[in-house]
Amino acid sequence: MLHSKIETPMKSNYIKNILRGSMCTLFLWAFTSCEDYLERTPESIISEETAFHNFTNFQGYTEELYQCIPNFTLSYWTSSWNWGEDEIESTAGTFHLSYDIDRGNFWAWQNEMGGGDSWLDAGGAYTDQDHKNKGLWPLAWYGIRKANLGLENLSKMVDATEEERRLIEGQLLFFRAWFHFSLIQYFGGLPYVDYVLPSDEKLQLPRLSYHECADRIGQDLARAAQLLPVDWDNTTAGRRTLGKNQLRINKIMALGYLGKNYLWAGSPLMNQVSTGSSTYDAAYCTLAANAFGELLSLVESGDTQYELLPFDKYSTNFYTTGQNWALPGGTEAIFRGPYYSANSTNYQISKQFMPRVISDGDATLFAPTANYIHANYGMANGLPLPADVSKADPVSGFDPNHPWKDRDPRFYHDIVYDGVKVIQGAIPDPNEEVNRFANLYEGGSYRDVASGSRTGYLSTKFKPLTSNKYDRAYNWGSSLHINVPYMRLADIYLMYAEATLMGFNSPSATSNTYSKTPVDAVNVLRDRVNMAAVHSDFTASTSVFLEELRRERAVELAFESHRFNDLRRWLLLTEEPHTLKTSFEFDRAGEFDAADPSQNQIINMHEQVLLERNFSDRHYWLPLKVSDVTLYPEFNQNPGW
């Protein structure tokens, strides 16, 4: 684990105060506020020469950058991180950003605009261990300045080996790039700040185009990938913290974000704002494919610490139980934020996926939408469901009266559907025995607009079924830890498939650095869950396979904070059916099979629209802070806001 003792409160305006404003800085292991700095005795002040003199001191300085990564999973007592058409909150959850996003109020990401709870702007530029007080916007600008300050002081690192110098420079370059990338994917092109802005310099850095920013990010990440090792445990410096280097920035992380940066730059939205063309940019996609290919070649040759988790360990990507504070992610998580104070938050996070009737927590509940499940989670034979799930499909074998039969294995892992046995242990009150099974039919006890499922489905991807008030798997302490990674290996396979498909214009193409085709890459993930390979009907052309690839991405990465940005970059956010959120209404029929709920029969099934999102072109980018866009003319607001 990475730790920091640093706490540097910053106030608006962030760009003015963090990028340009003079900061009272104490080096080595801690920063303090300016007031604390002025109260320190002269002999306690550490010079820049001492702070950057050797690897131990410089790494102590660099460690704070890890504390600048917001943990979107644990940003509040209950947390919202899925803003596509994939999820809807119960009506008790109106304080979350997801509620405002659904209603087109994208201003709500900002604290000063009266927005709901949001990890994009929570608190300020705090680098302590309060996970509820970390916002991407303020911390990114703070992190960019800190990275630049470190890079400008590399020459002071005179008592160090070449390996140690490479480790420091690689981390600083990665973070400078990662913070810029994290901002531009939501806000579009911004100034690329690659030096420490003097306090007396007039702010006039122009907003670059998205492509111009991506080029600068790519340069930093490519250099970071050259400098950094695959595994810190295999370095002399890293052996000092042997076994505790999982979160430290490495070559695989740099290659992963190098590819992601280029794939995003090559996507229709980013290409449109940079060139006017709303198609994929093949050149950027080729760069992305080659970066991902290099990463996957290293992984599959056994030269890294990463590999796909077997399906029986799949949940370890997202949570652990009873493992004494073991960090979720296993061998598959590539990039994660710091993880701390988990027991005070997971006590609530686990409850946001269960109805209050079996919980004693907050009434807020986030449920998968019926439209997302029906459009993406298909059959075990690899084929999708019909567009109208009230009708049979002889090709896929879907039976509307038995809709839970023979589904993609990830459906059974991720989704609680009607009839699933939830409560495993004893229920003291006989009157509550009815709640042992998920009553998700119309009028069932798990259905409630305020504190239950509005959609006829629940999510269990990020917690065990037994996290309920009877089985108590969510108890305080080391019982349950939930943490969704920013990037995992399965995502790399899917991004490789998309980048190679669109860069080389063929489902059977390969990149210059890896031998698998886009179809092969998807099948790696399907093989992992023991389901059928991509059907030949979807491999005939680039455009047809692209739709199937997007469906695969929607299933494999469901509810992991990817969908909103995917819909945006594909220019689908404003298009039906992605503007709709629906429920699945049905009645039970026939004999109830408690042992195998997939065999249960239903009747009177239909989807019902719960919400239609009225979006326009302006919703493809979040609005910038008014306090920032009024700083100087070159820092202009996004169109439509």
pLDDT of residue 474: 54
Q: What is the pLDDT of residue 112?
A: 82
Question: Residue 488 contacts by C-beta under 8 Å, 6 or more apart in sequence?
Answer: 317, 329, 332, 333, 334
Binned at pLDDT 50, 70 and 90, residue 23 comes out as very low
- Tokens representing 332? 């598959």
* Residue 253 pLDDT: 98
Check residue 217 and give its pLDDT: 98
Q: How confident is the model at residue 241 (pLDDT cuts 50, 70, 90)?
A: very high
More confident of the two residues 480 and 389? 389
Hey, which bits of 48-185 come out as E strands? 87-89
SS3 content of the chain, % helix, strand, coil (to 5): 45, 10, 50
Check whether 24 has a pLDDT greater than 80.
Answer: no
Confidence of residue 484 (pLDDT cuts 50, 70, 90): very high
Q: How many residues are present in the chain?
A: 641
Residue with tokens 């970059």: 569
What distance lies between CA 407 and its chain's CA centroid?
26
Q: Which stretch of 288-292, 344-348, 402-406 has the lowest confidence by average pLDDT? A: 344-348
Give the tens place of pLDDT for each residue, 261-292. 999 999 999 999 999 999 999 999 999 999 99
pLDDT above 90 as % of the chain = 81
Q: What type of residue is 50?
A: T
The mean pLDDT of 113-136, rounded to a whole number, is 84
Assign residue 147 a region (left: φ > 0; alpha: ψ between -120 and 50; beta: otherwise). alpha
**Burial bucket for residue 466 (CB in 10 Å: 0-12, 13-18, 19+):** middle
pLDDT band at residue 399 under the 50/70/90 scheme = very high
**Span of 64-78, 213-227, 244-258, 514-528 with lowest mean pLDDT:** 64-78
Mean pLDDT value across residues 562-590? 98
Q: What is the mean pLDDT of residues 66-87?
A: 94
Kindly tell me if the per-residue pLDDT of 216 is higher than 90. Answer: yes
- More confident call, 130 vs 575: 575
Residues 598-625: pLDDT tens digits?
999 999 999 999 999 999 999 999 999 9
Residue type, 181: F
Average pLDDT over residues 66-86: 94
Say whether pLDDT at 300 is over 70: yes
pLDDT of res. 448: 96
pLDDT digits (tens, 9 = 90+) for 29-63: 223 223 332 344 555 467 888 889 999 999 999 99
Cα–Cα distance measured from residue 398 to residue 386, given in angstroms and rounded to the nearest whole number = 8
Provide the token pair at 641: 């806001």
Q: Find residue 437's DSSP bridge partners.
A: 421
Residue 408 has pLDDT above 60, yes or no: yes
pLDDT greater than 80 at residue 460: yes
Q: State the average pLDDT for the chain.
A: 91
What mean pLDDT do residues 562-578 have? 98
Is residue 546 a contact partner of residue 333, using CB atoms and an 8 Å limit?
Answer: no
Question: Among 340-349, 529-538, 569-578, 581-590, which stretch is predicted with the lowest mean pLDDT?
Answer: 340-349
